[in-house]
Amino acid sequence: MGKAYWRSLDELAETPEFRQLVAREFPHLAEEIFDPKTRRDFLKLIGASLGMLGMAACRWPKETILPFAGRPEGRIPGVPQQFATAMALFGNALGLLVTSYDGRPIKVEGNPLHPESQGGAHLWAQASVLELYDPDRSQVVVQRRAGQRVVSSWEAFRDEFRGQLGALSATGGEGFWVLADGTPSPTRWRLQAKLADLYPKARWVDWDPLVRWQERAGLRQATGVSVVPHLDMSRARVAVSFGDDLFLRHPQAVANARGYAQGRRDLQNPLRLFVAEPVPTITGAAADLRLAVKPDRLSALLAALAEALAKAGLQLPAPLPSTPALGEKERAFVAAVAQDLVSARSSAVVAVGAALPPACHALGFAINLALGAVGSTVSYMPLPEVPGSGSLPELREALESSAVKLLLVLGGNPALTAARELGGEGNLRRAKTLIRLGLYEDETSRLAHWHLPQAHFLEGWGDVRTLDGVYSVVQPLIAPLYGGKTAEELLSLALGQEQSAYELVRETFAALAGSKGAEQAFRKTLHDGLWSEKLAGPVAVQLAGTGWLGALGVQDETKLAAWVLPDSKVLDGRFANNPWLQELPEPITKLTWGNALLLGPSTAKALGVRHRELVRLSWEGGEATLPAFVLPGVAERTLGLVTGYGRQAAGRVGDGVGVALRGLDAEGGALVVATLQGTGREGEVVSTQDHQAIDKLGLEALGHRLGELVREVRARNPVLPPEDKAELRPPMPWKERPFTGEYQWGMVVDLAACIGCGACVVACQAENNIPVVGAKQVAKGRQMHWIRIDRWFSGPAEEPGFAFQPVMCQHCENAPCEQVCPVAATVHSEEGLNEMVYNRCVGTRYCSNNCPYKVRRFNYFNYFKNVSQVTKMAFNPEVTIRGRGVMEKCTFCVQRIEAGKIAARNAGKPLVDGAVVPACAQTCPTQAIAFGNLADPSSKVAKLQQDPRAYGILTELNTRPRVLYLAKITNPPEEA
């Protein structure tokens, strides 16, 4: 039997609260029925629905069909088309394919041709379609005159802007500043250079809290040139991360995850991942050896590693700073890492967290260089040098001396994310004129004289470049919904040219491609989603200086240290108004709708803080009161914090969700010394970690053998013992139904590849019109996600192991839900699908009660009642919108199955393996989910179901699931 896994500290301690959650699937139901107030509402609703019966007797509403006056060539109504585009995030670009249904983008997927995506997409790309249709996005040009908000127009703005620019051009642009969001766009760089020509004294500042500025600074110190690293994780066999969230909050997260999974699948020489981090991330959860380490000890650990490597004969800069005494575990970690690094050499890579100071990045580079990893697992790409660049401190100085005449803020939200660097957001007001182009009328817009609506990347032309120089055109899928313009269009206006975004991109491309068939090359670039030629290649780098060595040091260790990262869902707050992301359970804490202060069990005990207790946190320059969340795996005396919450001007969804940590922004604020005080009051923590728990205790009472839900094997011998694969399949007392369909659908989920990022959850939500229910409903266990990712802990609470297990409907061949439905609303298809028929469902919820996997979701309300007209455009027309009172669950994306089958039959060919891909499997960056036809023994899924690691969960219950799991692979170093 494998090791014991547990979901939360509550389960580990077997608290009564946890027992109640297991015993009562919908824990808050009973109180509600007997609450007289809600009962009255219930009767009212009954009355209303009787009234509706009379209405229903009338004829269907008259419907009109509005065909095109002239249908464009190749356009077939009701047949979705895919277009390639790209999204910029973390200073990098991700190639995407967007599905357009009758002119509306409804689903985003990764572009298989794009090297950063390879078909996978992260959760922000998946959720971007909802951002496009957000009714709270800014829709008009707004002018603020003497504090009064006045709705204006583009024409009025243009006139005033021209006047201001005319005055500026006389002085060569003295006092003209641009604060841009750091989008890596060649067109923008071209216009930036032009602007510098026209206004030689104008200054340009790029600021994006997600761009790794400290890394760039560190690499400049170490190499003497401006470069960024570009990882190739698929070539790595030993990867070490010092507080770097490689798989989620990283410019190359998707490619890293893909490379990691590839490395793990190489069973001859599987990748081994070491992670030292203060607060658990999904990267740490994937590690073979994870060390929970206080943030201010990370640099010491890095220095100790450098010393160990130098002793092993590697060429490292000297003199290395003396390291403080390491603890026993730290020593063991460093020894194990050093040993593996020395033997792996060029197939090793060391990554340093974005929040660490520049000197750490410089040392990380020196180690990679000494290992010979540069050019193999990591290469360094030049950053474009654009004239007129300034920095945030310079802008602050100019603002404070009232030398800024015109400040153009392009995107971003500096009032929120750069408040500290600017000396308080109020300093922005010191600009004589502040013009802001933004998606939302947010905190920065409220300080601006002019707010201009920005075009979303799905509705305006643009271009982006990946870190390693792959050029993609950002192709709009729809005309701007609210008359927004792109940042490049505004820059063109500043240049007095007023070109459209399309013309600007064409001009850039013409300059890049030269005369060689520019039109054809452009069309191919649009179609493929990337240009066949790269704009940049790796540069040779060497160690240029060692001055930074002195900056490596250790801070005061006795105090509490805070480790601040951008949130893993709303990031720096830019996605705060996206309900899909707000409701997505955070990978590790499973928190939804808000943030909390994370601390380890022993730290909580030492400080006398309870789980969920509101605590007052203060640091130099600010304080906040937020709930504590006791999380296994947080380093001692460490406080885990995230930014992006508690926004005041995000929109109807994001306003007031969570707690703001003003002045503690993600970048420089990583290593803050803080003090903490409990208040004794209970805070609001909405975590799904114990929801839908599978009742193991009950099974033991029945005397059954219970297999672990998560099983793991060692990489040396990736085979499950036969007793772990045994199923209970007693003869049934009734005649079993044969599965006669041509196709027999099945799925395999590889736990060795799943990193728990949550992209599948959002993809499923987008594909299947899954409602968002809000914090109050989630607290009652009523979240509607068809796929949930169970996060399991194992081992001791201070140093837990982690495992992720995505659980969706298992499409049991002997489905317990079907046997208890009184109205046959859930039945089996001949292709082995467990079908849910919404029209038959009367809402008894017996099926959910009887489902051992707890994957069925009930519509307690009509969650789509108040959906705005514009948000309705995001619905997938191929999937029914479910009403109140019906059950729903994973369908294996039956709409895709049927579309694939019909297309194959129409073509007169058999359905090829891989032609039908459910939304979850499609987006998965690690390809952890395989889906296909089990009746075809040559299909990928049929082969994987025969894998020596394959097992079904709860097969002891004779459910015969169609979903099998491949056991998690661990590859710890020998001594551990």
Partner 1 sequence: MTEPVARRWVFPPWTNKLRQLLGALLVLGPVYLVVLVGTGASPKTTDVGYAPEQPVPYSHALHVGQLGLDCRYCHNTVEVAAKAAIPSTQTCMNCHARIRATSPKLLAVRESYATGMPVPWVRVHDLPDYVYFNHAAHVRRGVGCVSCHGRVDTMEVVQQVAPLSMGWCLDCHRQPERHLRPPELVTSMDWVAPEDPVAYGRRLREQRGIRPSTDCWTCHR
Q: Which residues bind partner 1 (CB under 8 A)?
A: 34, 57, 59-60, 62-71, 76-79, 741-742, 827, 829-831, 833, 835, 837-839, 878-880, 891, 894-895, 898, 902, 905-906
Considering the complex, what minimum distance in angstroms separates the CB of residue 82 from partner 1?
16
Q: How far apart are CA 454 and CA 370, in angstroms?
A: 46
| Residue 78 vs 703, nearer CB to partner 1 | 78
| Residue 199 vs 743, nearer CB to partner 1 | 743
Considering the complex, what minimum distance in angstroms separates the CB of residue 233 from partner 1?
38
3-state secondary structure 689-711: CCCCCCCHHHHHHCCCCCCCCCC
| Residue 82 vs 880, nearer CB to partner 1 | 880
Considering the complex, what minimum distance in angstroms separates the CB of residue 808 from partner 1?
16
Considering the complex, what minimum distance in angstroms separates the CB of residue 56 from partner 1?
11
Two tokens, residue 876:
């997938």
- Please classify residue 45 by burial: count the beta carbons closer than 10 Å to its beta carbon, then call 0-12 exposed, 13-18 middle and 19+ buried: exposed
| Residue 717 vs 869, nearer CB to partner 1 | 869
Closest CA to 781 of 891, 712, 687: 687
Two tokens, residue 728:
């209970």
Considering the complex, what minimum distance in angstroms separates the CB of residue 260 from partner 1?
35
Q: What's the DSSP call for residue 234?
A: G
| Residue 81 vs 226, nearer CB to partner 1 | 81
| Residue 30 vs 719, nearer CB to partner 1 | 30
| Residue 81 vs 346, nearer CB to partner 1 | 81
| Residue 111 vs 768, nearer CB to partner 1 | 768
Considering the complex, what minimum distance in angstroms separates the CB of residue 890 from partner 1?
12
| Residue 12 vs 29, nearer CB to partner 1 | 29
| Residue 674 vs 825, nearer CB to partner 1 | 825
| Residue 77 vs 224, nearer CB to partner 1 | 77
Q: How far apart are CA 14 and CA 191, in angstroms?
A: 62
| Residue 355 vs 784, nearer CB to partner 1 | 784
Considering the complex, what minimum distance in angstroms separates the CB of residue 72 from partner 1?
9
CB 198 within 8 A of CB 173: yes
CA-to-CA separations, 335 to 53, 341, 351, in angstroms, rounded: 74, 10, 17
| Residue 62 vs 145, nearer CB to partner 1 | 62
CA-to-CA separations, 743 to 275, 833, 922, 947, in angstroms, rounded: 43, 10, 20, 21
Q: What's the DSSP call for residue 454?
A: B
Considering the complex, what minimum distance in angstroms separates the CB of residue 922 from partner 1?
18
Considering the complex, what minimum distance in angstroms separates the CB of residue 742 from partner 1?
8
Considering the complex, what minimum distance in angstroms separates the CB of residue 69 from partner 1?
4
**Cα first-last separation, the chain:** 20
- Please classify residue 821 by burial: count the beta carbons closer than 10 Å to its beta carbon, then call 0-12 exposed, 13-18 middle and 19+ buried: buried
CA-to-CA separations, 939 to 610, 747, 895, 936, 947, in angstroms, rounded: 51, 11, 20, 6, 13
| Residue 69 vs 146, nearer CB to partner 1 | 69
Q: Is the peptide bond before 319 cis (omega within 30 degrees of 0)?
A: yes
| Residue 59 vs 865, nearer CB to partner 1 | 59
Amino acid letter, 557:
E
Considering the complex, what minimum distance in angstroms separates the CB of residue 906 from partner 1?
5
Residue 241 bridge partners (DSSP): 275, 351
Closest CA to 413 of 123, 151, 93, 644: 644
Residue 230 sits at the vertex; the CA angle it makes with 229 and 233, to the nearest 5 degrees, is: 125
Phi/psi zone of residue 709: left (φ > 0), alpha (ψ -120 to 50 degrees), beta? Answer: alpha
| Residue 34 vs 734, nearer CB to partner 1 | 34
Listed in sequence order, the DSSP H helices in 733-792 are: 759-767, 775-779
Two tokens, residue 585:
């359970």
CB 516 within 8 A of CB 217: no
CB 284 within 8 A of CB 275: yes
Considering the complex, what minimum distance in angstroms separates the CB of residue 824 from partner 1?
9
Amino acid letter, 778:
V
Q: How far apart are CA 460 and CA 290, in angstroms?
A: 43
Owner of token pair 């027999």: 744
CB 119 within 8 A of CB 257: no
Residue 745 bridge partners (DSSP): 933
Residue 178 bridge partners (DSSP): 204, 408
Closest CA to 111 of 83, 147, 148: 83
Closest CA to 636 of 612, 661, 604: 604
Listed in sequence order, the DSSP H helices in 275-357 are: 282-285, 298-311, 328-344
| Residue 30 vs 156, nearer CB to partner 1 | 30
Owner of token pair 């005080």: 677
Considering the complex, what minimum distance in angstroms separates the CB of residue 857 from partner 1?
16
Considering the complex, what minimum distance in angstroms separates the CB of residue 781 from partner 1?
21
Q: How far apart are CA 450 and CA 436, in angstroms?
A: 6
Considering the complex, what minimum distance in angstroms separates the CB of residue 768 from partner 1?
9
Q: What's the DSSP call for residue 460?
A: S
Q: How far apart are CA 770 and CA 154, in angstroms?
A: 37
Considering the complex, what minimum distance in angstroms separates the CB of residue 892 from partner 1?
9
Considering the complex, what minimum distance in angstroms separates the CB of residue 476 from partner 1?
21
| Residue 607 vs 881, nearer CB to partner 1 | 881
Q: How far apart are CA 950 and CA 937, in angstroms?
A: 16
Q: How far apart are CA 768 and CA 893, in angstroms?
A: 8
Q: How far apart are CA 776 and CA 782, in angstroms?
A: 9
Considering the complex, what minimum distance in angstroms separates the CB of residue 886 from partner 1?
11
Phi/psi zone of residue 418: left (φ > 0), alpha (ψ -120 to 50 degrees), beta? Answer: alpha
